[in-house]
Structure 1
Protein backbone atom coordinates (compact mmCIF):
# COMPACT_ATOMS: atom_id res chain seq x y z
CA UNK A 1 0.00 0.00 0.00
CA UNK A 2 1.35 3.44 -0.95
CA UNK A 3 1.35 6.42 1.38
CA UNK A 4 -1.44 7.96 -0.67
CA UNK A 5 -3.54 4.78 -0.41
CA UNK A 6 -3.03 4.68 3.36
CA UNK A 7 -4.00 8.32 3.82
CA UNK A 8 -7.06 7.90 1.60
CA UNK A 9 -8.15 4.93 3.70
CA UNK A 10 -7.81 7.02 6.86
CA UNK A 11 -9.79 9.87 5.32
CA UNK A 12 -12.58 7.59 4.12
CA UNK A 13 -12.78 5.89 7.51
CA UNK A 14 -13.02 9.27 9.24
CA UNK A 15 -15.76 10.50 6.92
CA UNK A 16 -17.68 7.23 7.28
CA UNK A 17 -17.63 7.69 11.05
CA UNK A 18 -18.91 11.24 10.65
CA UNK A 19 -21.58 10.06 8.24
CA UNK A 20 -22.95 7.63 10.81
CA UNK A 21 -23.41 10.50 13.26
CA UNK A 22 -24.89 12.62 10.49
CA UNK A 23 -27.54 10.00 9.64
CA UNK A 24 -28.34 8.72 13.10
CA UNK A 25 -28.48 11.85 15.26
CA UNK A 26 -30.58 14.98 15.21
CA UNK A 27 -29.32 18.40 16.31
CA UNK A 28 -30.31 19.37 19.83
CA UNK A 29 -29.23 23.00 19.69
CA UNK A 30 -28.99 25.56 16.89
CA UNK A 31 -27.10 28.80 17.43
CA UNK A 32 -25.87 31.71 15.35
CA UNK A 33 -22.27 32.34 14.40
CA UNK A 34 -20.97 35.59 12.93
CA UNK A 35 -24.38 36.97 11.99
CA UNK A 36 -28.04 36.29 12.59
CA UNK A 37 -28.45 34.07 9.49
CA UNK A 38 -25.29 31.96 9.81
CA UNK A 39 -26.08 28.90 11.91
CA UNK A 40 -24.25 26.07 13.61
CA UNK A 41 -25.63 23.05 15.44
CA UNK A 42 -24.27 20.96 18.26
CA UNK A 43 -23.88 18.15 15.73
CA UNK A 44 -21.39 20.25 13.71
CA UNK A 45 -19.20 20.40 16.81
CA UNK A 46 -19.74 16.75 17.71
CA UNK A 47 -18.74 15.50 14.24
CA UNK A 48 -15.75 17.82 14.13
CA UNK A 49 -14.50 16.71 17.56
CA UNK A 50 -14.92 13.01 16.70
CA UNK A 51 -13.08 13.32 13.37
CA UNK A 52 -10.36 15.60 14.74
CA UNK A 53 -9.57 13.14 17.52
CA UNK A 54 -9.59 10.20 15.10
CA UNK A 55 -7.22 11.95 12.67
CA UNK A 56 -4.88 13.00 15.47
CA UNK A 57 -4.63 9.38 16.60
CA UNK A 58 -3.94 8.14 13.08
CA UNK A 59 -1.67 10.99 11.93
CA UNK A 60 -0.31 12.74 15.03
CA UNK A 61 2.26 14.78 13.08
CA UNK A 62 -0.37 16.36 10.80
CA UNK A 63 -2.10 19.68 11.41
CA UNK A 64 -5.87 20.07 11.60
CA UNK A 65 -8.19 22.88 10.49
CA UNK A 66 -11.93 22.65 11.06
CA UNK A 67 -14.64 25.16 10.23
CA UNK A 68 -15.84 25.30 13.83
CA UNK A 69 -12.53 26.31 15.42
CA UNK A 70 -9.43 28.45 14.81
CA UNK A 71 -9.21 29.37 11.14
CA UNK A 72 -5.43 29.65 10.82
CA UNK A 73 -4.37 28.17 7.47
CA UNK A 74 -0.99 26.43 7.53
CA UNK A 75 0.74 26.28 4.13
CA UNK A 76 3.68 24.07 5.13
CA UNK A 77 3.52 20.33 5.72
CA UNK A 78 0.40 18.17 6.01
CA UNK A 79 -2.92 19.70 7.06
CA UNK A 80 -6.31 18.02 7.37
CA UNK A 81 -9.15 20.43 6.51
CA UNK A 82 -12.70 19.55 7.60
CA UNK A 83 -16.19 20.90 7.18
CA UNK A 84 -18.27 18.69 9.48
CA UNK A 85 -21.56 19.78 7.89
CA UNK A 86 -21.33 21.70 4.65
CA UNK A 87 -24.79 23.09 4.04
CA UNK A 88 -25.89 23.51 7.65
CA UNK A 89 -28.96 25.56 6.69
CA UNK A 90 -30.05 22.77 4.35
CA UNK A 91 -29.45 20.25 7.15
CA UNK A 92 -31.50 22.25 9.65
CA UNK A 93 -34.39 22.45 7.18
CA UNK A 94 -34.21 18.73 6.27
CA UNK A 95 -32.97 19.43 2.75
CA UNK A 96 -30.66 16.53 1.83
CA UNK A 97 -28.10 18.71 0.01
CA UNK A 98 -25.51 18.66 2.79
CA UNK A 99 -22.20 16.89 3.15
CA UNK A 100 -19.08 16.14 5.13
CA UNK A 101 -15.96 17.43 3.38
CA UNK A 102 -12.46 16.31 4.38
CA UNK A 103 -9.33 17.27 2.49
CA UNK A 104 -5.65 16.72 3.12
CA UNK A 105 -3.24 19.32 1.78
CA UNK A 106 0.53 19.12 1.64
CA UNK A 107 2.41 22.42 1.46
CA UNK A 108 -0.89 24.09 0.55
CA UNK A 109 -1.85 21.72 -2.30
CA UNK A 110 -4.72 19.20 -1.94
CA UNK A 111 -3.57 15.57 -2.19
CA UNK A 112 -6.58 13.72 -0.71
CA UNK A 113 -10.25 14.62 -0.89
CA UNK A 114 -13.32 12.82 0.47
CA UNK A 115 -16.89 14.12 0.41
CA UNK A 116 -19.92 12.22 1.68
CA UNK A 117 -23.55 13.26 1.25
CA UNK A 118 -25.15 10.79 3.69
CA UNK A 119 -28.79 11.58 2.88
CA UNK A 120 -28.11 11.10 -0.84
CA UNK A 121 -26.12 7.90 -0.40
CA UNK A 122 -23.10 9.39 -2.16
CA UNK A 123 -19.39 9.23 -1.37
CA UNK A 124 -16.75 10.94 -3.51
CA UNK A 125 -12.98 10.65 -3.21
CA UNK A 126 -9.81 11.50 -5.08
CA UNK A 127 -6.06 11.39 -4.71
CA UNK A 128 -3.63 13.68 -6.52
CA UNK A 129 -2.89 12.09 -9.92
CA UNK A 130 -4.99 9.08 -8.94
CA UNK A 131 -8.37 9.98 -10.40
CA UNK A 132 -11.73 10.77 -8.82
CA UNK A 133 -14.47 8.33 -7.87
CA UNK A 134 -18.07 8.25 -6.68
CA UNK A 135 -19.28 5.11 -4.91
CA UNK A 136 -16.40 3.23 -6.59
CA UNK A 137 -17.04 4.47 -10.15
CA UNK A 138 -14.39 6.55 -11.95
CA UNK A 139 -15.59 10.10 -12.59
CA UNK A 140 -15.26 12.25 -15.69
CA UNK A 141 -16.37 15.86 -16.00
CA UNK A 142 -19.12 16.85 -18.42
CA UNK A 143 -18.40 16.90 -22.15
CA UNK A 144 -20.68 19.90 -22.69
CA UNK A 145 -19.00 22.34 -25.06
CA UNK A 146 -21.22 25.43 -25.00
CA UNK A 147 -22.49 27.64 -22.21
CA UNK A 148 -25.97 27.69 -23.68
CA UNK A 149 -26.23 23.97 -22.98
CA UNK A 150 -24.65 24.23 -19.53
CA UNK A 151 -26.07 23.90 -16.03
CA UNK A 152 -24.06 26.20 -13.75
CA UNK A 153 -24.47 26.40 -9.99
CA UNK A 154 -23.65 29.42 -7.88
CA UNK A 155 -22.76 29.69 -4.21
CA UNK A 156 -25.01 31.12 -1.55
CA UNK A 157 -25.64 34.83 -1.32
CA UNK A 158 -23.71 36.57 1.44
CA UNK A 159 -25.12 37.36 4.87
CA UNK A 160 -23.79 39.46 7.73
CA UNK A 161 -21.54 42.50 7.72
CA UNK A 162 -20.73 43.76 4.24
CA UNK A 163 -23.23 41.43 2.59
CA UNK A 164 -24.87 44.25 0.66
CA UNK A 165 -21.68 45.04 -1.24
CA UNK A 166 -20.78 41.36 -1.70
CA UNK A 167 -24.23 40.56 -3.04
CA UNK A 168 -24.12 43.33 -5.63
CA UNK A 169 -21.51 41.25 -7.45
CA UNK A 170 -23.40 38.02 -6.85
CA UNK A 171 -26.57 39.54 -8.31
CA UNK A 172 -24.61 40.77 -11.34
CA UNK A 173 -23.09 37.33 -11.84
CA UNK A 174 -26.50 35.68 -11.49
CA UNK A 175 -27.96 38.06 -14.10
CA UNK A 176 -25.08 37.47 -16.51
CA UNK A 177 -25.33 33.70 -16.14
CA UNK A 178 -29.12 33.70 -16.52
CA UNK A 179 -28.69 35.37 -19.90
CA UNK A 180 -26.03 32.94 -21.09
CA UNK A 181 -26.47 29.41 -19.74
CA UNK A 182 -29.21 26.79 -19.96
CA UNK A 183 -30.03 26.97 -16.25
CA UNK A 184 -28.61 28.41 -13.02
CA UNK A 185 -28.83 26.41 -9.79
CA UNK A 186 -28.08 27.19 -6.12
CA UNK A 187 -27.53 23.99 -4.13
CA UNK A 188 -26.41 25.45 -0.80
CA UNK A 189 -23.33 23.23 -0.41
CA UNK A 190 -20.00 24.09 -2.00
CA UNK A 191 -18.76 20.53 -1.51
CA UNK A 192 -21.69 19.13 -3.50
CA UNK A 193 -21.27 21.85 -6.15
CA UNK A 194 -17.70 20.72 -6.79
CA UNK A 195 -18.46 17.00 -6.52
CA UNK A 196 -21.27 17.35 -9.05
CA UNK A 197 -19.00 19.19 -11.47
CA UNK A 198 -16.66 16.20 -11.13
CA UNK A 199 -19.54 13.79 -11.74
CA UNK A 200 -20.87 15.71 -14.75
CA UNK A 201 -24.22 16.51 -13.14
CA UNK A 202 -23.18 20.16 -13.38
CA UNK A 203 -21.10 21.70 -16.14
CA UNK A 204 -19.62 24.29 -13.82
CA UNK A 205 -19.94 26.10 -10.51
CA UNK A 206 -19.21 29.66 -9.42
CA UNK A 207 -18.33 30.10 -5.75
CA UNK A 208 -17.53 33.72 -4.95
CA UNK A 209 -15.76 32.71 -1.76
CA UNK A 210 -13.04 30.22 -0.90
CA UNK A 211 -13.18 28.93 2.65
CA UNK A 212 -10.67 26.06 2.67
CA UNK A 213 -13.02 23.74 4.60
CA UNK A 214 -15.64 24.20 1.86
CA UNK A 215 -13.35 23.61 -1.10
CA UNK A 216 -10.16 21.66 -0.26
CA UNK A 217 -11.66 18.23 -0.96
CA UNK A 218 -13.98 19.27 -3.77
CA UNK A 219 -11.35 21.13 -5.77
CA UNK A 220 -9.17 18.02 -5.92
CA UNK A 221 -12.11 15.78 -6.83
CA UNK A 222 -13.16 18.17 -9.62
CA UNK A 223 -9.62 18.45 -10.99
CA UNK A 224 -9.08 14.72 -10.95
CA UNK A 225 -12.25 14.30 -13.03
CA UNK A 226 -10.83 16.56 -15.73
CA UNK A 227 -12.53 19.82 -14.73
CA UNK A 228 -10.61 23.10 -14.69
CA UNK A 229 -10.54 24.88 -11.33
CA UNK A 230 -9.33 28.48 -11.09
CA UNK A 231 -9.78 31.71 -9.21
CA UNK A 232 -12.16 34.15 -10.90
CA UNK A 233 -9.22 35.95 -12.55
CA UNK A 234 -8.20 32.74 -14.29
CA UNK A 235 -5.19 32.04 -12.09
CA UNK A 236 -4.57 28.56 -10.72
CA UNK A 237 -6.79 27.85 -7.73
CA UNK A 238 -5.15 27.43 -4.31
CA UNK A 239 -6.49 27.32 -0.77
CA UNK A 240 -5.67 31.05 -0.49
CA UNK A 241 -7.52 32.06 -3.68
CA UNK A 242 -10.35 34.59 -3.40
CA UNK A 243 -12.93 32.58 -5.35
CA UNK A 244 -13.50 29.06 -6.66
CA UNK A 245 -14.57 28.54 -10.27
CA UNK A 246 -14.82 24.99 -11.62
CA UNK A 247 -15.99 23.98 -15.08
CA UNK A 248 -15.51 21.54 -17.87
CA UNK A 249 -12.48 22.52 -19.94
CA UNK A 250 -14.49 23.50 -23.01
CA UNK A 251 -16.48 26.23 -21.25
CA UNK A 252 -14.04 27.40 -18.57
CA UNK A 253 -12.67 30.35 -20.54
CA UNK A 254 -16.10 31.58 -21.60
CA UNK A 255 -17.42 31.24 -18.07
CA UNK A 256 -14.51 33.32 -16.74
CA UNK A 257 -15.22 35.96 -19.39
CA UNK A 258 -18.81 36.24 -18.19
CA UNK A 259 -17.63 36.70 -14.62
CA UNK A 260 -15.22 39.40 -15.76
CA UNK A 261 -17.96 41.23 -17.64
CA UNK A 262 -20.22 41.06 -14.58
CA UNK A 263 -17.64 43.11 -12.66
Structure 2
Protein backbone atom coordinates (compact mmCIF):
# COMPACT_ATOMS: atom_id res chain seq x y z
CA UNK A 1 0.00 0.00 0.00
CA UNK A 2 1.08 3.53 -0.59
CA UNK A 3 1.12 6.58 1.66
CA UNK A 4 -1.68 9.09 2.05
CA UNK A 5 -1.45 10.11 -1.62
CA UNK A 6 -3.44 6.95 -2.34
CA UNK A 7 -6.42 8.51 -0.64
CA UNK A 8 -6.60 11.12 -3.35
CA UNK A 9 -8.16 10.70 -6.76
CA UNK A 10 -6.03 12.14 -9.53
CA UNK A 11 -6.35 12.47 -13.27
CA UNK A 12 -2.70 11.48 -13.35
CA UNK A 13 -1.32 14.93 -14.20
CA UNK A 14 2.11 15.31 -12.63
CA UNK A 15 1.43 18.90 -11.65
CA UNK A 16 -2.04 18.34 -10.17
CA UNK A 17 -2.04 19.81 -6.64
CA UNK A 18 -3.18 17.62 -3.79
CA UNK A 19 -6.41 18.62 -2.09
CA UNK A 20 -6.52 17.40 1.49
CA UNK A 21 -8.47 20.16 3.25
CA UNK A 22 -12.21 19.77 2.69
CA UNK A 23 -12.80 23.34 3.85
CA UNK A 24 -10.45 24.53 1.13
CA UNK A 25 -12.46 22.68 -1.50
CA UNK A 26 -15.69 24.19 -0.19
CA UNK A 27 -14.12 27.64 -0.20
CA UNK A 28 -13.01 27.28 -3.81
CA UNK A 29 -16.21 25.82 -5.24
CA UNK A 30 -19.70 25.30 -3.85
CA UNK A 31 -19.93 21.51 -3.98
CA UNK A 32 -23.38 21.52 -2.38
CA UNK A 33 -24.83 23.71 -5.13
CA UNK A 34 -22.93 21.86 -7.85
CA UNK A 35 -24.25 18.50 -6.64
CA UNK A 36 -27.78 19.90 -6.77
CA UNK A 37 -27.14 21.08 -10.34
CA UNK A 38 -25.77 17.68 -11.33
CA UNK A 39 -28.85 15.98 -9.91
CA UNK A 40 -31.16 18.42 -11.68
CA UNK A 41 -29.43 17.73 -14.99
CA UNK A 42 -29.69 13.99 -14.43
CA UNK A 43 -33.39 14.38 -13.57
CA UNK A 44 -34.02 15.95 -16.98
CA UNK A 45 -31.85 13.49 -18.90
CA UNK A 46 -33.48 10.49 -17.23
CA UNK A 47 -36.56 10.79 -19.45
CA UNK A 48 -34.39 10.54 -22.56
CA UNK A 49 -32.60 7.55 -21.04
CA UNK A 50 -35.72 5.59 -20.16
CA UNK A 51 -37.56 6.35 -23.41
CA UNK A 52 -35.00 4.53 -25.54
CA UNK A 53 -34.25 1.40 -23.50
CA UNK A 54 -33.58 -1.45 -25.90
CA UNK A 55 -32.13 0.85 -28.58
CA UNK A 56 -30.09 -0.76 -31.35
CA UNK A 57 -26.39 0.09 -31.78
CA UNK A 58 -25.99 3.32 -33.74
CA UNK A 59 -22.22 3.79 -33.75
CA UNK A 60 -19.69 0.94 -33.81
CA UNK A 61 -16.72 2.41 -31.96
CA UNK A 62 -14.53 -0.69 -32.20
CA UNK A 63 -15.01 -4.47 -32.42
CA UNK A 64 -17.23 -5.43 -29.49
CA UNK A 65 -18.01 -1.87 -28.43
CA UNK A 66 -20.82 0.38 -29.57
CA UNK A 67 -22.96 3.36 -28.68
CA UNK A 68 -26.71 3.74 -29.13
CA UNK A 69 -28.36 6.93 -30.28
CA UNK A 70 -29.48 7.29 -26.66
CA UNK A 71 -25.83 7.45 -25.52
CA UNK A 72 -25.30 10.37 -27.87
CA UNK A 73 -28.59 12.09 -26.99
CA UNK A 74 -28.15 11.78 -23.22
CA UNK A 75 -24.59 13.11 -23.37
CA UNK A 76 -25.63 16.05 -25.55
CA UNK A 77 -28.48 16.84 -23.15
CA UNK A 78 -26.31 16.59 -20.05
CA UNK A 79 -23.63 18.73 -21.64
CA UNK A 80 -26.13 21.41 -22.59
CA UNK A 81 -27.69 21.49 -19.13
CA UNK A 82 -24.47 21.37 -17.12
CA UNK A 83 -22.85 24.06 -19.24
CA UNK A 84 -25.94 26.25 -19.12
CA UNK A 85 -26.23 25.98 -15.34
CA UNK A 86 -22.53 26.32 -14.48
CA UNK A 87 -20.58 27.60 -17.49
CA UNK A 88 -18.12 24.70 -17.00
CA UNK A 89 -16.80 22.42 -19.76
CA UNK A 90 -17.86 18.79 -20.01
CA UNK A 91 -15.68 15.75 -20.71
CA UNK A 92 -17.90 12.91 -21.95
CA UNK A 93 -17.36 9.41 -23.26
CA UNK A 94 -18.82 10.08 -26.69
CA UNK A 95 -17.55 13.58 -27.48
CA UNK A 96 -14.47 14.17 -25.32
CA UNK A 97 -13.88 17.62 -23.81
CA UNK A 98 -16.33 20.26 -25.01
CA UNK A 99 -15.99 23.80 -23.71
CA UNK A 100 -18.86 26.29 -23.51
CA UNK A 101 -19.77 27.55 -26.98
CA UNK A 102 -17.97 24.78 -28.86
CA UNK A 103 -19.88 22.78 -31.47
CA UNK A 104 -19.28 19.07 -31.93
CA UNK A 105 -20.30 16.65 -34.61
CA UNK A 106 -19.89 12.93 -34.26
CA UNK A 107 -18.07 11.06 -37.00
CA UNK A 108 -18.77 7.32 -36.75
CA UNK A 109 -15.89 6.56 -39.14
CA UNK A 110 -13.29 8.56 -37.23
CA UNK A 111 -10.08 6.54 -37.32
CA UNK A 112 -9.21 7.78 -33.83
CA UNK A 113 -12.46 6.57 -32.27
CA UNK A 114 -12.10 3.55 -30.04
CA UNK A 115 -13.58 1.97 -26.95
CA UNK A 116 -11.44 4.14 -24.66
CA UNK A 117 -11.73 7.60 -26.12
CA UNK A 118 -15.13 7.67 -27.81
CA UNK A 119 -15.51 9.38 -31.19
CA UNK A 120 -13.39 12.48 -31.43
CA UNK A 121 -12.10 14.80 -34.13
CA UNK A 122 -8.37 14.52 -33.50
CA UNK A 123 -5.91 12.18 -31.77
CA UNK A 124 -5.11 12.76 -28.11
CA UNK A 125 -2.06 14.96 -27.48
CA UNK A 126 0.79 14.44 -25.09
CA UNK A 127 0.77 11.39 -22.76
CA UNK A 128 -0.84 8.12 -23.79
CA UNK A 129 -3.66 8.58 -21.26
CA UNK A 130 -6.22 10.34 -23.47
CA UNK A 131 -7.12 13.85 -22.42
CA UNK A 132 -5.45 13.85 -19.01
CA UNK A 133 -3.45 17.03 -19.43
CA UNK A 134 -6.10 18.59 -21.61
CA UNK A 135 -8.74 18.62 -18.90
CA UNK A 136 -9.67 22.10 -17.70
CA UNK A 137 -8.99 22.89 -14.03
CA UNK A 138 -12.67 22.32 -13.22
CA UNK A 139 -14.90 20.26 -15.49
CA UNK A 140 -17.75 17.81 -15.53
CA UNK A 141 -17.07 14.17 -16.45
CA UNK A 142 -20.02 12.32 -17.96
CA UNK A 143 -20.81 8.75 -18.97
CA UNK A 144 -24.31 9.04 -20.48
CA UNK A 145 -25.04 5.31 -20.34
CA UNK A 146 -22.67 3.06 -18.46
CA UNK A 147 -23.52 -0.54 -19.30
CA UNK A 148 -24.65 0.16 -22.87
CA UNK A 149 -24.74 -3.54 -23.77
CA UNK A 150 -27.18 -4.08 -20.88
CA UNK A 151 -29.21 -1.02 -21.87
CA UNK A 152 -29.54 -2.22 -25.46
CA UNK A 153 -31.33 -5.41 -24.37
CA UNK A 154 -33.34 -3.97 -21.49
CA UNK A 155 -31.13 -5.29 -18.70
CA UNK A 156 -31.66 -2.82 -15.80
CA UNK A 157 -27.98 -2.79 -14.77
CA UNK A 158 -27.12 0.43 -16.55
CA UNK A 159 -26.72 3.96 -15.25
CA UNK A 160 -25.92 7.62 -15.84
CA UNK A 161 -22.64 8.80 -14.30
CA UNK A 162 -21.86 12.47 -13.65
CA UNK A 163 -18.93 13.77 -11.63
CA UNK A 164 -17.07 17.03 -11.18
CA UNK A 165 -13.28 17.11 -11.21
CA UNK A 166 -11.58 20.11 -9.62
CA UNK A 167 -7.79 20.47 -9.70
CA UNK A 168 -7.31 16.80 -10.48
CA UNK A 169 -9.73 15.50 -7.88
CA UNK A 170 -13.31 14.25 -7.99
CA UNK A 171 -15.40 16.43 -5.64
CA UNK A 172 -19.00 15.67 -6.75
CA UNK A 173 -20.49 12.39 -7.99
CA UNK A 174 -23.88 11.08 -9.11
CA UNK A 175 -24.78 7.53 -10.16
CA UNK A 176 -28.37 7.38 -11.37
CA UNK A 177 -29.86 3.92 -12.06
CA UNK A 178 -33.21 4.73 -13.71
CA UNK A 179 -34.29 1.13 -14.29
CA UNK A 180 -33.43 0.13 -10.72
CA UNK A 181 -34.98 3.23 -9.15
CA UNK A 182 -31.86 4.10 -7.19
CA UNK A 183 -29.56 7.12 -7.00
CA UNK A 184 -26.23 7.25 -5.17
CA UNK A 185 -24.43 10.57 -4.67
CA UNK A 186 -21.38 11.97 -2.92
CA UNK A 187 -19.44 15.19 -2.47
CA UNK A 188 -15.96 15.35 -1.10
CA UNK A 189 -15.82 15.47 2.68
CA UNK A 190 -19.57 15.21 3.15
CA UNK A 191 -20.25 11.48 2.89
CA UNK A 192 -22.29 9.15 0.72
CA UNK A 193 -26.04 9.29 0.14
CA UNK A 194 -28.41 6.66 -1.22
CA UNK A 195 -31.71 8.03 -2.51
CA UNK A 196 -31.09 11.20 -0.53
CA UNK A 197 -30.39 9.48 2.79
CA UNK A 198 -26.99 9.00 4.47
CA UNK A 199 -25.59 5.63 3.49
CA UNK A 200 -24.87 2.95 6.05
CA UNK A 201 -21.21 2.31 6.66
CA UNK A 202 -19.65 -0.53 4.72
CA UNK A 203 -20.38 -3.76 6.59
CA UNK A 204 -17.45 -5.81 7.90
CA UNK A 205 -16.24 -8.63 5.71
CA UNK A 206 -18.04 -11.95 5.97
CA UNK A 207 -16.92 -14.28 3.15
CA UNK A 208 -20.02 -16.42 3.58
CA UNK A 209 -22.31 -13.60 2.45
CA UNK A 210 -20.09 -10.87 1.00
CA UNK A 211 -20.66 -10.31 -2.70
CA UNK A 212 -17.84 -9.17 -4.98
CA UNK A 213 -18.47 -7.34 -8.23
CA UNK A 214 -16.24 -8.45 -11.09
CA UNK A 215 -15.59 -6.85 -14.47
CA UNK A 216 -15.86 -8.44 -17.88
CA UNK A 217 -14.48 -11.98 -17.96
CA UNK A 218 -14.52 -12.61 -21.72
CA UNK A 219 -14.26 -9.20 -23.41
CA UNK A 220 -11.63 -9.23 -26.15
CA UNK A 221 -11.37 -5.45 -26.52
CA UNK A 222 -7.79 -4.28 -26.86
CA UNK A 223 -6.15 -2.81 -23.82
CA UNK A 224 -7.89 -5.14 -21.41
CA UNK A 225 -6.14 -7.82 -19.43
CA UNK A 226 -6.04 -11.21 -21.18
CA UNK A 227 -9.06 -13.47 -20.73
CA UNK A 228 -7.01 -16.27 -19.18
CA UNK A 229 -5.59 -13.93 -16.55
CA UNK A 230 -9.02 -12.55 -15.66
CA UNK A 231 -10.41 -16.08 -15.35
CA UNK A 232 -7.54 -17.14 -13.09
CA UNK A 233 -8.10 -14.00 -11.02
CA UNK A 234 -11.82 -14.81 -10.72
CA UNK A 235 -11.01 -18.33 -9.55
CA UNK A 236 -8.48 -17.12 -6.99
CA UNK A 237 -10.82 -14.53 -5.48
CA UNK A 238 -13.70 -17.02 -5.53
CA UNK A 239 -11.90 -19.31 -3.12
CA UNK A 240 -12.42 -16.72 -0.41
CA UNK A 241 -15.49 -14.96 -1.75
CA UNK A 242 -17.63 -17.48 -3.66
CA UNK A 243 -20.48 -15.02 -4.23
CA UNK A 244 -19.01 -13.27 -7.28
CA UNK A 245 -21.24 -11.06 -9.43
CA UNK A 246 -20.78 -9.76 -12.99
CA UNK A 247 -23.19 -6.87 -13.54
CA UNK A 248 -21.86 -5.50 -16.82
CA UNK A 249 -21.55 -1.94 -15.48
CA UNK A 250 -18.39 -0.53 -13.90
CA UNK A 251 -20.35 2.41 -12.56
CA UNK A 252 -22.87 0.22 -10.76
CA UNK A 253 -20.16 -2.09 -9.42
CA UNK A 254 -18.37 0.84 -7.84
CA UNK A 255 -21.54 2.53 -6.58
CA UNK A 256 -22.85 -0.73 -5.10
CA UNK A 257 -19.51 -1.21 -3.38
CA UNK A 258 -19.70 2.28 -1.91
CA UNK A 259 -23.23 1.59 -0.65
CA UNK A 260 -22.30 -1.75 0.90
CA UNK A 261 -24.27 -3.93 -1.51
CA UNK A 262 -20.97 -5.38 -2.70
CA UNK A 263 -18.14 -5.83 -0.24
CA UNK A 264 -15.69 -5.05 -3.00
CA UNK A 265 -15.19 -4.98 -6.73
CA UNK A 266 -12.54 -5.61 -9.36
CA UNK A 267 -12.98 -3.72 -12.62
CA UNK A 268 -10.91 -3.47 -15.78
CA UNK A 269 -11.94 -0.22 -17.43
CA UNK A 270 -9.16 2.35 -17.93
CA UNK A 271 -11.66 5.15 -18.52
CA UNK A 272 -12.06 8.28 -16.42
CA UNK A 273 -15.80 8.49 -17.08
CA UNK A 274 -16.41 4.89 -15.93
CA UNK A 275 -14.54 5.24 -12.66
CA UNK A 276 -14.42 8.86 -11.55
CA UNK A 277 -17.76 8.97 -9.72
CA UNK A 278 -17.38 5.58 -8.03
CA UNK A 279 -13.91 6.32 -6.69
CA UNK A 280 -15.18 9.36 -4.80
CA UNK A 281 -18.24 7.46 -3.54
CA UNK A 282 -16.24 4.58 -2.12
CA UNK A 283 -13.75 6.80 -0.35
CA UNK A 284 -16.53 8.95 1.08
CA UNK A 285 -17.93 5.86 2.81
CA UNK A 286 -14.66 4.58 4.26
CA UNK A 287 -13.57 2.27 1.47
CA UNK A 288 -10.23 1.87 -0.30
CA UNK A 289 -9.56 2.21 -4.04
CA UNK A 290 -6.27 1.36 -5.76
CA UNK A 291 -4.85 -0.22 -8.88
CA UNK A 292 -3.68 -3.84 -8.83
CA UNK A 293 -0.31 -2.82 -7.38
CA UNK A 294 -1.95 -1.05 -4.44
CA UNK A 295 -1.18 2.43 -5.78
CA UNK A 296 -3.65 5.20 -6.50
CA UNK A 297 -5.48 4.54 -9.75
CA UNK A 298 -4.91 6.81 -12.74
CA UNK A 299 -6.86 6.78 -16.02
CA UNK A 300 -5.28 4.60 -18.68
CA UNK A 301 -4.61 1.68 -16.32
CA UNK A 302 -6.88 -1.35 -16.79
CA UNK A 303 -7.32 -2.43 -13.22
CA UNK A 304 -9.18 -1.13 -10.16
CA UNK A 305 -9.56 -2.88 -6.81
CA UNK A 306 -12.03 -1.31 -4.40
CA UNK A 307 -13.94 -2.15 -1.29
CA UNK A 308 -14.27 -2.28 2.46
CA UNK A 309 -10.70 -2.13 3.82
CA UNK A 310 -10.43 -5.80 4.80
CA UNK A 311 -12.02 -6.94 1.55
CA UNK A 312 -9.73 -4.68 -0.46
CA UNK A 313 -6.67 -6.15 1.26
CA UNK A 314 -7.87 -9.70 0.54
CA UNK A 315 -8.60 -8.87 -3.11
CA UNK A 316 -5.13 -7.36 -3.56
CA UNK A 317 -3.56 -10.44 -1.99
CA UNK A 318 -5.42 -12.79 -4.34
CA UNK A 319 -4.75 -10.68 -7.44
CA UNK A 320 -1.05 -10.47 -6.75
CA UNK A 321 -0.87 -14.23 -6.24
CA UNK A 322 -2.13 -14.98 -9.75
CA UNK A 323 0.63 -15.75 -12.29
CA UNK A 324 0.37 -13.74 -15.49
CA UNK A 325 0.71 -15.50 -18.83
CA UNK A 326 3.00 -14.33 -21.60
CA UNK A 327 -0.08 -12.98 -23.38
CA UNK A 328 -0.15 -10.20 -20.79
CA UNK A 329 3.20 -8.77 -21.99
CA UNK A 330 5.11 -9.64 -18.85
CA UNK A 331 4.37 -10.01 -15.18
CA UNK A 332 6.67 -7.26 -13.98
CA UNK A 333 5.11 -4.70 -16.34
CA UNK A 334 1.62 -5.47 -15.09
CA UNK A 335 2.62 -5.39 -11.42
CA UNK A 336 4.63 -2.20 -11.79
CA UNK A 337 1.85 -0.40 -13.59
CA UNK A 338 -0.98 -1.74 -11.47
CA UNK A 339 -2.66 -3.03 -14.62
CA UNK A 340 -2.16 -2.79 -18.35
CA UNK A 341 -2.02 0.55 -20.14
Same fold (TM over 0.5): yes
For residue 251 of structure 1, report the CA deviation from its aligned partner.
2.0
Correspondence 1:1-263 to 2 at 5 A: 3-26=30-53, 29-60=56-87, 62-70=88-96, 71=117, 72-73=131-132, 74-75=134-135, 77-147=137-207, 149-157=209-217, 158-161=219-222, 166-239=226-299, 241-263=301-323
Q: Structure 2 stretches of 5 or more lacking a match?
A: 1-25, 97-116, 118-130, 324-341
Judging by fraction of residues, say which structure has more helix. Answer: 1
Q: Is the 8 A contact 2:91 2:139 kept in 1?
A: yes
| Structure number with higher strand proportion | 1
TM-score, normalization: structure 2? 0.71
Q: Find the aligned partners of 1:34 and 1:68 in 2 and give their Cα distance.
A: 10
Report deviation, 1:178. Answer: 1.9
Larger Rg: 2
Classify the secondary structure of the residue corresponding to 1:44.
helix
Say if 1:178 and 1:32 are closer, same or farther in 2 by CA, change over 3 A: farther
The alignment covers a number of residue pairs equal to 261
Please list every run of 5 or more consecutive structure 1 residues that lacks an aligned counterpart in the other structure.
Answer: none
C-alpha distance in 2 between matches for 1:126 and 1:48: 21
**Partners of 1:210 and 1:160 in 2: CA distance:** 12
TM-score, normalisation: structure 1: 0.91
State the distance in 1 between where 2:56 and 2:205 align.
46
Does structure 2 conserve the Cα–Cα contact (< 8 Å) formed by 1:216 and 1:239?
A: no
